[in-house]
Structure 1
Amino acid sequence: MDKQMNTETDTQADTRSGAGPRSAGTPRIVGIVWGLLVLNTLGSAGAKTIVPLPRSLIQMVTMGALVAAFALALVVNVRLRIRPSAYLLVLTLLLVSSVISSANLESGFGALFRCFRLTLFVGTLWLLTRWWDGSLTFVRHHIRAYFAVLGSVAAGLVVSPGAALPDLYGGRLVGALWPLTPPQIGQYAAVIIGLAVLLLLGHRIDRTSAAVVIVPSFVLLALTHTRTATLGLLLGLALAIGSLILTSAAARRFFTWAVLCSAVAAVGFAGALQTWFLRGQSKENFSSLTGRAKVWDALLAAPRSTSEKFLGVGLGDKSFGGLPIDNSWLAVYNEQGLVGVTLVAVIIVVLGGVALLRPPSLERACAIFLISYCAIASYTEAGLGDASPYLLHLALAASLLAVPAATPGAPRQLAQGPEVA
């Protein structure tokens, strides 16, 4: 405890001297809490693993990780010091509407359990807002946690290539040690690749450290054949780097080389890229987004009461008629109604608007990448209405857009735009 207080004192001294907040002022236990949140959002359904893991055991581990994260966050923030956050405020409203819609038990008692899980998830994030100071501290926690997850995927690929590239998934990479699906692996790889590239452009990490993260993650992303993650990575990086072009020579060089390399790849490897992109699917299957469109049409055509239209049927497993919805907006509409859809839209619009109002910086670029990626992925992936990696990505974006807390005796900074975290 004394060590923590001394660290905070040093941080305040640096801030008074004009050095700004230091990432060293964040207790190490905060990184552990963030890692536990990542573990909780890995889910319990996926591919068959080398050693069969009962789903009940996986759920026990993931839920235990969330309980431990909340408990540790309470320990490190025992005085319950939190900072205002528009993101978490709207997310809390979404939680309230989810509880109301789940109370009628139309989706069973599992809906109330999911509400309890979302409550712990949001509560833990509120406790962590004390250290949301607009720095890159949580970006490093994010990269480390998901790189560790990808490390388990790579280990499974080495130990049992057959289990990691099963015919059931068309030879796409899955988690052989922990049940992870190709879209999950692709998402984790794309996110940390994008963040690592931005840190490299901002000279926050050296080329060797960046290569250690980017190269193996890119290989895993390619093996998953995940189109959504690839498009999210490319478009998200384009927007993020575009926000740095006017102030960063490194961003301008990277953007120029990226455009040239893309043009060469489009001409010289058009056939290979098309084959990878289609994944052996027919035009009909591709046009229906691997069957997703049929589920979406059935969901929208299903009769609903007025209550179900506005509040939904309660938190479920993001499926309809036994098939995955695979669209965040339709999943939210099904489970949390038009109220939920409105609140999720407010989250995206507010975070995006605040990011645009911030002056150009590396932190702003990272936030733009995360917001853009989540918005793009929301079309073919569910997760914006419940505890998920996507809400964790957006929480990271909110922490990057936060205004550093004012210290006693220091002049308050102006013209920073509205505070969101």
Structure 2
Amino acid sequence: MTANRTPKIVGTVWGLLILNTLGSAGAKTIVPLPRSLIQMVTMGALVAAFALALAVNVQLRIRPTAYVFLLTVLLVSSVISSAHLESGFGALFRCFRLALFVCTLWLLTRWWDGGLTFVRHHIRMYFAVLGLVALGLVVSPGMALPDLYGGRLVGDLWPLTPPQIGQYAAVIIGLTVLLLLGRRTDGRSAAVVIVPSAVLLALTHTRTATLGLLLGLLLAIGSLLLTSAAARRFFTWAVVCATVAAVGFASMLQSWFLRGQSKENFSSLTGRAKVWDALLAAPRTTGEKLFGVGLGDKSFGGLPIDNSWLAVYNEQGLVGVTLVAIVLVVLGGVALLRPPSLQRACAIFLISYCAIASYTEAGLGDASPYLLHLALAASLLAAPAAATAPLGTTESLKTLEARTKPEIPRPRVPRWARGSEVT
């Protein structure tokens, strides 16, 4: 039995999921867009993604995957915590959104076969988003680099914050570098993606995305050192360039990293630590400790939490924190058990990036780009469909051999010689 080919419409579904997770809050846009309109577009994208996934997989064929199963359990836990309506009816709406998101992933698991198809969809869609950001920078540089964000790059055509842009740029840079090392793309195509994305990443001054990119690539390329000469050469040159940069451009790098902040502001992670301390000190009932207060906007006291673990603890409790931890442990464990390959390296990069970013960014407990990154990692770690398809009987094994065995043309016997055979 051969693996199912991925229909082109699956790429459209993946792109709609990415559109849904772009969010509706951010910088001011050149043309003012009502938040209700943006939410209508993003939610409509999710509904369309689910409808298309259901249409292309009307037989409801799914593949067992621990990642989506754990997300389903997290969804059930979120419904339990949101049913008390401590966060209002918006919590139930967010549960409905998460349910559509998880159901769409279940429908897409049919094509999770360890291939790189979804990696290419991921890169193309996020590169298109970055193209929109770059267009806004050209059209209105003042609004794209506002003083409100300290001169950091934002999206002024679609409301995107600097951390969002930095995240998208870092992820597609890392994946493209790995595709280049695995000879799945050429240098010119890789440069078209890497160079402008790196410029946009630098303009966002996003430290989390930069560290996630560097450490994620370090771990991913390290997993290829024993089997790839290209990875060994790249690693050597990267170490040399990093050493030269650290020695020759130390002051410039330090200035970029600090972003003009005081030592007190930097030590408190731009004020995040104060919100975290207040969240942990807030009184909670036993039920709130176990299940949280329900899905919300990832804020506490009107301020963003900016930490996935504390955001999950606040909204989904210790049960949610445990489930998210299991997700990362399971994906990381499976990646370590897989033999060295390009797919494994891409999965390691995505898992490590999400783990690093979870310290200063929220999103591991709700429909978000981080869950899509981890879904991509799960698809890369899935066993090929041909290897997992049950044969069932000896007859099916013969059928498989007959399909894969090349046909050898039989010699043609002349008509005059066909009756001369000795019986």
* TM-score of the superposed pair, with normalisation by structure 2: 0.92
Specify the SS of the correspondent of 1:245. coil
The equivalent position to 1:216 in structure 2, one of 164, 175, 196, is: 196
Deviations 1:229-266 (A, max 9, x none): 00000000000000000000000000000000000000
Does the alignment pair 1:178 with 2:158?
yes
Distance 1:214 1:321 in 2: 39
The equivalent position to 1:107 in structure 2, one of 51, 68, 87, is: 87
The equivalent position to 2:169 in structure 1, one of 181, 189, 193, is: 189
Distance 1:267 1:292 in 2: 31
Distance 2:58 2:378 in 1: 23
Query: Which structure 2 residues correspond to residues 278-317 of structure 1 after superposition, within 5 A?
Result: 278-317=258-297
1:7 aligned residue: none
Does the alignment pair 1:149 with 2:129?
yes
1:9 aligned residue: none
Deviations 1:300-322 (A, max 9, x none): 00000000000000000000000
Query: Which structure 2 residues correspond to residues 4-403 of structure 1 after superposition, within 5 A?
Result: 15=2, 21=3, 25-403=5-383
Distance 2:304 2:217 in 1: 28
1:405 aligned residue: 385
The residue identity in structure 2 corresponding to 1:210 is: A
The residue identity in structure 2 corresponding to 1:380 is: T
Deviations 1:335-363 (A, max 9, x none): 00000000000000000000000000000
Distance 2:234 2:106 in 1: 36
Distance 1:323 1:164 in 2: 23
The residue identity in structure 2 corresponding to 1:26 is: T
Q: CA deviation at 1:280?
A: 0.3
Deviations 1:119-160 (A, max 9, x none): 000000000000000000000000001000000000000000
Distance 2:75 2:125 in 1: 26
Distance 2:101 2:194 in 1: 29
Q: CA deviation at 1:410?
A: 5.8
Q: CA deviation at 1:405?
A: 1.5
Distance 2:383 2:169 in 1: 29
1:415 aligned residue: none
Specify the SS of the correspondent of 2:152. coil
Matched residue count: 391
Specify the SS of the correspondent of 1:216. helix
Specify the SS of the correspondent of 1:313. coil
Q: What stretches of structure 1 of length at least 5 have no aligned partner?
A: 1-11, 16-20, 412-421
Deviations 1:7-30 (A, max 9, x none): xxxxx5xx4xxxxx58xx100000
The residue identity in structure 1 corresponding to 2:197 is: S
Distance 2:355 2:190 in 1: 25
Deviations 1:98-132 (A, max 9, x none): 00000010000000000000000000000000000
Distance 1:259 1:110 in 2: 49
Distance 1:145 1:93 in 2: 29
The residue identity in structure 1 corresponding to 2:204 is: T
The residue identity in structure 1 corresponding to 2:354 is: C
* TM-score of the superposed pair, with normalisation by structure 1: 0.92
